[in-house]
Amino acid sequence: MNAISSASAERKVHVPLGDRAYDILIGPGIISRAGAEIASRLKGRKAAIITDQNVAPLYLETLVKSLEGAGIAPAQLVLPAGEKTKSFEHLITVCDRVLEARVERNDCVIALGGGVIGDLAGFAAGIVRRGVRFVQVPTSLLSQVDSSVGGKTGINSRHGKNLIGVFHQPDLVLADTDVLNSLSAREFRAGYAEVAKYGLIDKPEFFAWLEANWKAVFAGGAARIEAIAASCQAKSDVVVADERENGPRALLNLGHTFGHALEAATAYDSARLVHGEGVSIGMVLAHEFSARMNLASPDDAKRVESHLKEVGLPTRMSDIPGSLPPAEKLLDAMAQDKKVKNGKFTFILTHGIGQSFIADDVPASEVLIFLKEKHPQ
């Protein structure tokens, strides 16, 4: 990667999807001019803002004033915070509020929040009136670099995470880097796991840059903007090549099959484990499993674990508070994951740092032995 300039310049990443192309704007103070950015791109003059109880007191008023100043009439809905909000119950509530606000197809639903709100509001935008315009205003690092980009939306089921949803691309993503200053250290670290993931997929130079510059990324300023822009560009490139995850887009799931199983095993209890933490542990497990299968050097797994541990992320199942179900139950959870096709395991494995690949037909027996070896009990 290039050296970071001292100026905290705004960055724009363009996602070229033909008539559904959109921009990702990254930089400080963007929420205060969200109305102008939306009005310049969309014809509608009504919006339904979906947010949660943690974000609303911090940024809702600023967003509302910006929209009103641009001639857009905003309705509002404030939901409970947390992963359990990604449910059928809350999806119905959101759809009803959007319809109540008389949002038409050229108007928009605006997701003001982290990945939970973005996934839920995006799903509603994709199905109300068979699809209305959608704007992402992500307020967590994880949502700025991952879930706000690419059009995946959905809710959780008792069978697993994100199993019910639609592809519905946003029309604009506004990533205000100032809002990240209000995140707890834990929330920021969890989002950083997804940043590191892009290096581990196919950008070894980016991972090496993060190893050298992670403290500056955490501190904010130009390095943070650069890391977010690089992550968004990486995701955009993959999405454009494979929008509906029929092939290489699956590489974005590095660490997620293990991670989602651990999230399900903790009943999505954020006090025990949040998504980015599950991905962190999952990426270490994916590299260790690759080494166990003689696909990669054990040194690569150690390097991944060392970096993630250095930034303060959990890297082992034993780092999760409380007890976990036995390895057999974790395997069952993986079998429900949407990365499984025709009952056969598909993992994202690696030949080394930045050399991930899609491994089909991974033997369940090997996965079970590995889980038993890594299980803390």
For the segment 283-288, the average pLDDT, to the nearest whole number, is 98
3-state secondary structure of 78: strand
Could you tell me which residues are beta bridge partners of residue 362? Answer: 345
For the segment 300-304, the average pLDDT, to the nearest whole number, is 98
End-to-end alpha carbon distance in the chain: 42
pLDDT of res. 341: 64
The rounded mean pLDDT for the chain is 94
pLDDT in tens, 43-80: 999 999 999 999 999 999 999 999 999 999 999 999 99
- The CA–CA distances, whole Å, from 99 to 132, 153, 164, 261 equal 11, 19, 21, 35
Instruction: Name the band, by pLDDT with cuts 50, 70 and 90, for residue 345.
Output: confident
Percent of the chain with pLDDT over 70: 96
pLDDT of res. 167: 96
Burial 37-61 (b: 16+ CB within 10 A, else e): bbbeebebbbbbbbbbebbbeebbe
Q: What is the pTM of this model?
A: 0.92
Instruction: Name the residues annotated as catalytic.
Output: 130, 152, 194, 235, 245, 249, 253, 256, 260, 275
- 339's enclosing H/E stretch is none
pLDDT of res. 195: 98
Within a 10 A sphere around the Cβ of 335, how many other Cβ atoms?
Answer: 15
For CA atoms 236, 81, 59, 4, the dihedral sign is negative
Within a 10 A sphere around the Cβ of 364, how many other Cβ atoms?
Answer: 14
Where helices occur in the chain by DSSP H, the ranges are 34-39, 61-69, 88-100, 115-127, 141-142, 185-202, 204-219, 222-241, 256-265, 275-292, 298-310, 327-336, 364-374
For CA atoms 277, 145, 122, 102, the dihedral sign is positive
pLDDT of res. 5: 43
The answer, yes or no, to whether residue 301 has pLDDT greater than 60, is yes
pLDDT of res. 3: 44
Whether 132 and 105 have beta carbons less than 8 Å apart is answered as yes
pLDDT of res. 4: 45
Residues 340, 345: Cα–Cα separation, whole Å: 5
The answer, yes or no, to whether residue 336 has pLDDT greater than 90, is no
Q: Is 361 left (phi over 0), alpha (psi -120 to 50) or beta?
A: left
Q: Which domains does the chain have, with CATH numbers?
A: 11-179 (3.40.50.1970), 185-374 (1.20.1090.10)
Percent of the chain with pLDDT over 90: 86
Q: What is the largest CA-CA distance in the chain?
A: 60
